[in-house]
Copies of this chain bind each other. A is one copy, B any other.
Amino acid sequence: MFAVGATCTACGTEYGLGRIYRCELCNSPLDIRYDYGKISRGAFDPAGGSRAEGMWTHRELLPVAPEYIVSLGEGRTPLLRCPRLGERLGLASLWVKDETRQPTGSFKDRPLSVAVSKAKELGAKTVVTASSGNAAAAMSAYAARAGLRAVVLVAADTPPGKLLQMCAAGARVVRVTGSVSNSIGMAKAATKTFNWYNVTTTFENPYSVEGDKTVAYEIAAELGWRAPDWIVVPTGSGPLPAGIWKGFGEMQQFGLVAALPKMVVAQAAGCAPIADAFRSGGDIVTPWPAPQTVASGINDPLVGYSEDGTYTLKIVRKSGGAAVAVSDEEILRVTRLMVGTEGLYAEPTAGTAAACAVELLRRGTIGPDDEVVVVSTGHGLKQPFVGTEELEALPEIAPSLDALAALSLDN
C-alpha cells in the first residue's frame, strides 16, 4: 500500500490516513497522496491479472492494503466505438465508456469497492451511506460481500428498482424526507454519534474517489496510451470527473500519456450548480436548493457541501473543459437514441453525457471531428425511461401467422 496521507484540495492542510472525511478547517474535499516513487509502471496496465481481479489489478494505485480488498470483479468495462450514434449526433469519433457493466449496474461499484475495503481495513462494523440510489445499491452489495452491516439513507423519491436492489442485499434502508442533501447531512452526523464508517461518495469519503480514478487508466489503455480530446461525465458533486482527471495526471507524471483530456461536467438544467457557475465565469459553486430532473443520479443540490462543486469546477477550468446543462427532454431523447442506434441501454442520468456533448457541439466548443468519450454511468434496468403506457400498447395476438402478418411489421 503506497498511500501515505491526504491533503486538502483547497487549503492544503495535511492529514494522516484513518477515518478522515473532509477538511476540518475549510470543509473541502481531501485528496489521497501516494509515494509515487515506489509504484511500478505496470500498476497502470488493466490487461494484467485475472478477470476477477477487476480494477484491483491497479492495487498499487489504490489506498487499501491488499489483504482487505472486497471485490466483485468491478471495472475493466469496455470502451465502445459508437459510429451509428455518432452519425446521428454529428460526432465523427464518439466512444462510450460502458459503466453499466459493473456488478450492481453503475460506476459506483468502483468507489464503493475501495471504500468498503477501507472500512474492513479500519475495523468498522457498520458502514453508512447517503445516496441518490446507485452508490447505495453498490454499497449494499459490497457490505454483503464483506459481511458488514449496511445502513443506507436515501431520498424519499429514489427509483424503486434501486431500492429493491438494496433491500435484496440486506441493507437497512431508511428514507429521509427532502433531497439527498438531507441524507448526506444525516450520514455525517450519524457517523460521529454511532461510530459508523461513512462511505458516502460525494467526496465525503476521500478513499472512494480513488476508485473512480481507475476509469482513466482503462480509457488510456484502450486508446493505446493516450487521452481523448474530451471526456464527458454526468455530474452531481463531481468525484467521477475528479477521479478521472487525477488518473490522467498520474499517468502523465509516469510518462504514460503525453496530453491530458478536457473534462466536461454534464448536468441537467433542473439541477445545474456547477454549469451555472461555469457559465457566469465565477470560481465558487453555490447550492441549488430545489433540484428537479429526470436524471435522478445527478439530482444533487450540494446543500452543506457546495465546496465539492467548487473543487470540481476548478478541475474543469484547469483541464480547459466545460460545464454545461441540458433539458430533461433532450436527456431523454439522447438516452433513447443510445439504445436505439447502438443497443446501449442506459438510465437517463447516463444519457446526460451524450446530450451535453451535443450541446457543446452546437455551441462550437466541441468540434465535429474531435475524439469524444462519454461515460455511461448506470444501466437502463435501474431506472427505465420507457413508460408502462408503451407496454400496454404492445399488440397481443393468438399464435396465428395471419394475426402476425396483419401487424405489417416489415414496414
Chain A contacts to B: CB under 8 angstroms? 46-47, 50-52, 54, 72-73, 76-81, 84, 98, 100-105, 126, 140-145, 147, 149, 151, 153, 156, 160-161, 163-165, 167-170, 172-178, 182-183, 185-186, 189-190, 193-194, 218, 222, 336, 339-345, 379-382, 384-386, 388, 390-391, 394-399, 401, 404-405, 407, 409-410
Given known A101-B103, A169-B343, A384-B164, contact A398–B177 (CB-CB < 8 A): yes
Please name the residue on chain B nearest to A340 by beta carbon. Answer: B170
Q: Which of B76, B140, B175, B391 contacts A160 (CB 8 A)?
A: B391
Given known A182-B399, A410-B194, contact A168–B380 (CB-CB < 8 A): yes
Complex formed: what's the CA distance from A394 to B174 in Å?
6
Chain B residues within 8 Å of A401, by CB: 186, 189-190, 193
In the complex, the count of this chain's copies comes to 2
A382: which B residues are within 8 A, CB to CB? 381
Chain A interface helix/strand/loop/mixed: mixed
Q: How far is the CA of A128 from the CA of B394 in the complex (A)?
A: 16
- Identify which of B189, B381, B385, B399 contacts A379 (C-beta below 8 A): B381
Decide: B404 and A185 in contact? CB cutoff 8 A: no
Q: A397 near B345 (CB under 8 angstroms)?
A: no
A183 proximity list for chain B (CB < 8 A): 399
- Residues of B near A100 (CB, < 8 A) are 103
Partner of A339, one of B141, B385, B386, B410: B141
